[in-house]
Structure 1
């Protein structure tokens, strides 16, 4: 079961109107791949946003001591950053990105991993715009208009929801990964097979031996998650059949991607389909490609070791 819930644009607008006991705060977490030349923070400040939104920067709210992008911060760092942005533990947080369920799931998951109780993922911002709901278009000078707070969470679900490199490497080295886990990679198929380069210069393409491709685009409908669990499951089953992937519901599942962002998209889709015990490999392919010996980098669709 996902740590956060989906909410439609209409339901979000209705919630914001009727909720009086707690604040309902939109969070813009737009992030783009580094090879796009686009800047989500600049778009938030200069172009448009949902009224009273706060910008959550996944390039800042992370483990800055790690060489790998977007690794989860520790609980203290999370609390400090949430305080700087002015959040309260009682807030209802509605997360979105301008692309439409690209980086927003990563943000929503981060909030929930560190114990924020009321987290929703807007399904999705382009739909919100198409349906004519209001936007702010005047330039912003700050990421948040909220008064700085004293945000304090005592919950950290990292050990439950995250797979580490060390754990994964032991499984691959012993030849046990495929036997014990379903492992799905959200990157585009040519990157998975090693036929296309990674967007980060110098990083090898390929995949972890024993993993299977599940491109994040395969689990979305024009950027939208299925809101019905049965349809979500059917969508996954159709993909597995067409792509000749195997899935064993008796095994736990690991989701990954390039840097731990789109991996949360497929994690969310799997959980919405009723699949339990899905964890994220936070370091994902970037960490694996930089740390593992080249013999543990597989190409094509066949298991290499």
Structure 2
């Protein structure tokens, strides 16, 4: 079949079902277990042809002190090529929750200059709800890819950047954690973290962008980000850099382009006692 030249930021399961056999389609499962959960779904429940994008053990820096830390461009390129990903690949990425860590994979590829990637709206639950075929996982044994990455470091920010910009009224830090976690009303799921939030940051829980596992429509997302559309920069944070990327996905679809992700997020900020915090 013919190759797909480009995809939108998000695609439906119907779209994937119709295009899954196109020459350059690569389907990735980027499921990452939530901090409160363990394990993955059953091993015979994958979209056909899936290759596993292992955020935890392959596409994160295992030597970093905090989880899900971005790896180097060279490491990313090498690991992606092992999955058979080419420069002209059209990637569709999903997870087992609907939309969760798939957004992180989407954001990582875009930071590496690969724009031809879309998140599967509704993920595996939506695929199964349509009674589309699934299969047991088969480790990818095919030809190595030729992906060439061009890393853009503007996609990720560190805590020093945030510290320098805490008082900047046109650079807004937005936290994707739940409101109770943001306000410091409940303990963090990771032991040893302080409760609270980055000073002057604002809160949009990532669940506000979702409805029954699907990303809300463009108009709803635009309404959520309306107050921020004229800001110089939005910096998204969360627990460990995963759900911040759901905010990035929503911002992108709503038409906002001036955003980045704080990679260390609250796992880093809440661990470093010298950094200021607020509680409500």
Native 8 Å contact 1:24 1:94 kept in 2: yes
| 1:297, distance to aligned residue in structure 2 (A) | 1.2
Match of 2:50 among 46, 50, 53: 53
**Match of 1:149?**
144
Q: Distance in 1 between matches of 2:144 and 2:71?
A: 19
Q: Distance in 2 between matches of 1:292 and 1:84?
A: 40
**Match of 2:219?**
230
Residues 278 and 292 from structure 1, CA distance in 2 versus in 1: closer, same or farther, beyond 3 angstroms?
farther
Native 8 Å contact 1:6 1:122 kept in 2: yes
Indicate the SS of the match to 2:191. Answer: coil
Mapped pair 1:217 → 2:215: no
Indicate the SS of the match to 1:290. Answer: coil
**Match of 2:98?**
100
Q: Deviations over 1:9-44 (max 9, x none)?
A: 111111224x3xx3212111111223212x23xx36
Native 8 Å contact 1:87 1:146 kept in 2: no
Q: Distance in 1 between matches of 2:160 and 2:148?
A: 27
Instruction: Identify, as 1 or 2, the structure richer in helix.
Output: 1
Cα-Cα RMSD: 2.0
**Match of 1:131?**
130
Q: Distance in 2 between matches of 1:156 and 1:131?
A: 37
Residues 79 and 232 from structure 1, CA distance in 2 versus in 1: closer, same or farther, beyond 3 angstroms?
same
Residues 299 and 57 from structure 1, CA distance in 2 versus in 1: closer, same or farther, beyond 3 angstroms?
same
Residues 124 and 248 from structure 1, CA distance in 2 versus in 1: closer, same or farther, beyond 3 angstroms?
closer
Q: Distance in 2 between matches of 1:235 and 1:184?
A: 12
Residue segments in structure 1 that go unaligned for 5+ positions in a row = 238-245, 301-305
| 1:165, distance to aligned residue in structure 2 (A) | 1.4
Q: Distance in 2 between matches of 1:30 and 1:258?
A: 16
Question: TM-score if structure 2 supplies the norm length?
Answer: 0.90
Alignment of 1:265-276 (within 5 A): 265-276=246-257
Q: Deviations over 1:189-219 (max 9, x none)?
A: 1111111111101111210001011100011
Q: Distance in 2 between matches of 1:182 and 1:145?
A: 41
| 1:234, distance to aligned residue in structure 2 (A) | 2.4
> How many residues are aligned here?
272
| 1:4, distance to aligned residue in structure 2 (A) | 6.4
Mapped pair 1:201 → 2:199: no
Residues 247 and 114 from structure 1, CA distance in 2 versus in 1: closer, same or farther, beyond 3 angstroms?
closer
Residue segments in structure 2 that go unaligned for 5+ positions in a row = 1-6
Match of 1:8 among 8, 12, 16: 12
Q: Distance in 2 between matches of 1:169 and 1:71?
A: 19
